[in-house]
Amino acid sequence: MSKHVAVLMGGWSAERDVSLRSGEACARAAESVGYRVSRVDVGHDIAEVLTRLRPDVALNALHGRPGEDGTIQGILEILRIPYTHSGVLASALAMDKAQAKIILAAHGVPVPEGRVVTRAEAAREHVLPRPYVLKPVSEGSSVGVFIVREDQEHPPQELHRPDWTHGDLLLAERYIPGLELTCAVMGGEALDVIEIQSAVRFYDYEAKYAPGGSVHILPARILPNVYQKVRMLAVKAHGALGCRGISRSDFRYDDRTGDESGLVCLEVNTQPGMTETSLVPELAAHAGHSFGELVRWMVEDASLDR
């Protein structure tokens, strides 16, 4: 009898639309390899829905809160339903960019210089020497991210908006020029490294999810020693936060240095996107895994928190 897989998608975060696309892609792939699938658009009654469905496995395709911050993981722990990706603590740590940076730095993973500021501070005056980056402490998919350029006289005016929904704490970081790189870890092993060239201002939400928004170069055009350093740091970051299953670490590389010293880790994603333009399926395919095989691996790897 085939496993019954509940694909959790949607939710109510700013990344709802992307999650629905990830979830539907995973649901179709799971069906194609023989699983019985229930598509679940997650609402506040999720515990009741899962109690009624009683799936063998929950395939977590949620992005942002509550699916990526440890909340849904805690519900699944209580219901004793094995689930994909990282557990409660690792998810909560990775979602909080400021706390994740502390952990990563303590484990020898280089991170950008910066500090946590309030939205009011960031809206009132420049909080770091320009250029710098402002990002919500707990959002993903580059939602609410700003690059403040050298010639930008005032902070981003969007920070004054009354309908701002990305929290009152922001992470201000020194802007790192150079290349955008990413590497996935699957079962504790690093896959390859993608270089991302954005077709818009920077690798923002539009570049990540709009067709033609970015160009992915695989393998990345960097020196072999830098390439292997990215892979090593991705595994180290995965382990430092206690991730399991699949994670994806994003890096900036100041290639003017000509060596590994130009690398910094921006963040670790415990719930990487699984859309048609997403990076992890592309990395898995490069390693010889079809999308169906990738989803099967995720389902079979699912467990309760370890």
Distances (CA, A) of 147 to 153, 155, 172, 201, 206: 13, 10, 10, 9, 15
Q: Binding site for Mg(2+): which residues? A: 250, 267, 269
Q: Binding site: which residues? A: 250, 267, 269
| Alpha-helix runs per DSSP H in the chain | 16-32, 46-53, 71-79, 88-95, 97-106, 119-124, 205-209, 224-240, 279-286, 291-301
Contact between residue 155 and residue 118 where contact means Cβ atoms under 8 Å apart: no
Point out the residues that are catalytic: 15, 141, 278
The conformational region for residue 120 under phi > 0 = left, psi -120 to 50 = alpha, else beta, is alpha
Query: In this structure, are strands 36-41 and 4-9 parallel, antiparallel, or unpaired?
Result: parallel
Q: What are all long-range contacts of 275-280, with beta carbons under 8 Å and residues at least 24 apart?
A: 275/18, 275/21, 275/22, 275/25, 275/209, 276/21, 276/25, 277/208, 277/209, 277/210, 277/211, 277/213, 277/214, 278/22, 279/182, 279/184, 279/194, 279/196, 279/216, 279/248, 280/184, 280/246, 280/248
Nearest Cα neighbor of 22 from 286, 246, 179, 306 is 246
